[in-house]
Amino acid sequence: MKILLINPWIYDFAAFDLWAKPLGLLYIGSFLEKFGYKVSLSDCLWRHHPEVKEKIKLKKYATGKFFSEEVEKPPLLKNIPRKYKRYGIPRIIFENDLKEGGRPDLIIITSIMTYWYPGVFDAISIIKKIFPDTPIILGGIYACLCSDHAKKYSQADYIIPGDGKIECLKIADSISGKKRSYDKINTDLDQIPYPAYHLYEEIDSISMITSLGCPLNCTYCASSFIQPDFIERAPDEVFKEILYYREKFEIKDIAFYDDALLINSKARFIPLVEKIIKQKLNIRFHTPNGLHIRLINEKIADLFYKAGFKTLRLSFESSIKRIQNSSSMKTTNQDLISAKKCLRNAGYNNEKIETYVMVGLPYQDRNEIIDAVRFVHDLGLKVKLVEYSPIPHTVDYEKTITKYKNIGTDPLLHNNSIFSMLTDEVGYKNLMEIKDLVADLNRKL
């Protein structure tokens, strides 16, 4: 029995590949292989596809732009003064790849941002034309956060709004006629095979996790809804996985996509990084998700530097105490000052430390954003704007749709590239001015 995994396109105003991989989908792929199923992968975002590889340039540390084509904006977004694009391989290449691969018995498609659902729908519509009788499972973040929308509009045969390993196995078994007991199947990440990166013909970076979920419950984040329990992996097992990638793929860049990498660091992160340092792995590590800056001390900073962490992004959010208290209470201005000092003492240049500042929170105005930007710059740190996205099942989402009722009508309006410009607090003109200010301040570093 053949199962095809699909990572669909991104439809958006902007997209850039920061070591992004469909990690959940790859875990499901290796899990199904464990039970004897033949699994293949079609990743629409694969920058090394032979048809697009020569058309895009590799950036620093194996990051890069996706191949993209401008497409017509959806009616809801027609007044946004930006180009709307499909990021990933051309549609005709995807269609040809499907035909050349032959009819699968089951297709599993993932989803990420809620407002990227047009890419999911586009892929499903093509699949339905080429393989009309093949059942389709849709999972991932959009399927979890907007399950009713997905059930109503996606055309997928099954919607799985959570950890899909057992559910996908059950569906595959029902199609193939296999019977087994599912009660004792272990789905712990340290007990199942590593993500199915071997399905790629070429790969230059790895994304991985040392934990699932986050115990902090920030008002703008849906991590605790998607993954209610905070699950930590054993550092020895994570280290074995890193060694596997180095030996099998000769990987030089690994990105940790944990939501809470430094939580409980004495039991998880510190033992792991000490092993990395001892083995002198010569791998560059990256933390694209914001780090909990209150947990960065002299020891952590020193370990970051010695282990070869090249990309550090700090989750600061705002310098305004009212916003800090109302969003999460996980950080203060003094926390950032302290973290910066520790990282600088460890050997990092200030301009190499990127600090996330949020824009467009439902209780945040223009001047508060500018104050936060200037506070970070005055510390000598590079500002990285994070444009707020209203995410269903969060406290801030409820505040947002109470004030801007239309935002709840379609996930397209969750788009972080446009939400700030749609609000009274920020607006398009102010947003552009803030972006210009950040660019100018960052250049001065």
The answer to whether residue 406 scores a pLDDT higher than 90 is no
pLDDT at residue 17, rounded to an integer: 95
HSE, CB side, 13 Å, CA atoms: give it for residue 311.
21
* pLDDT cut 90: percent of the chain above it: 85
Strand partners for 317: 357
**287 band by pLDDT with thresholds 50, 70 and 90:** very high
Q: In whole angstroms, give the CA distance from residue 151 to residue 244.
A: 38
**365 band by pLDDT with thresholds 50, 70 and 90:** confident
Which pairs with CB-CB distance under 8 Å and at least 24 residues apart come from 73-76?
Answer: 74/118, 74/412, 76/410, 76/412, 76/413
> What's the CATH fold of domain 205-444?
TIM Barrel (3.20.20)
Domain residue spans in the chain? Answer: 2-176, 205-444
pLDDT tens digits, 37-75: 999 999 999 999 999 988 888 888 999 999 999 999 999
**403 band by pLDDT with thresholds 50, 70 and 90:** confident
The answer to whether residue 6 scores a pLDDT higher than 80 is yes
Q: In whole angstroms, give the CA distance from residue 358 to residue 364.
A: 9
Planar angle of CA 16, 20, 25, nearest 5 degrees: 135
Average pLDDT over the chain, rounded to whole? 94
| Residue carrying the six token digits 């280290």 | 239
Average pLDDT value for residue range 305-331: 91
Inter-residue contact 90 to 66 (CB < 8 Å): no
**156 band by pLDDT with thresholds 50, 70 and 90:** very high
Q: Do domains 2-176 and 205-444 have the same CATH topology?
A: no
pLDDT tens digits, 133-155: 999 999 999 999 999 999 999 99
**351 band by pLDDT with thresholds 50, 70 and 90:** low
Inter-residue contact 81 to 128 (CB < 8 Å): no
Average pLDDT value for residue range 417-431: 81
Which option is the CATH number for 2-176: 3.20.20.190, 3.20.20.70, 3.40.50.280, 3.30.830.10? 3.40.50.280
Altogether, the residues listed in the chain come to a count of 445
**397 band by pLDDT with thresholds 50, 70 and 90:** very high
Q: In whole angstroms, give the CA distance from residue 42 to residue 46.
A: 8
Pseudo-torsion of CA 167, 171, 174, 180, nearest 10°? -30
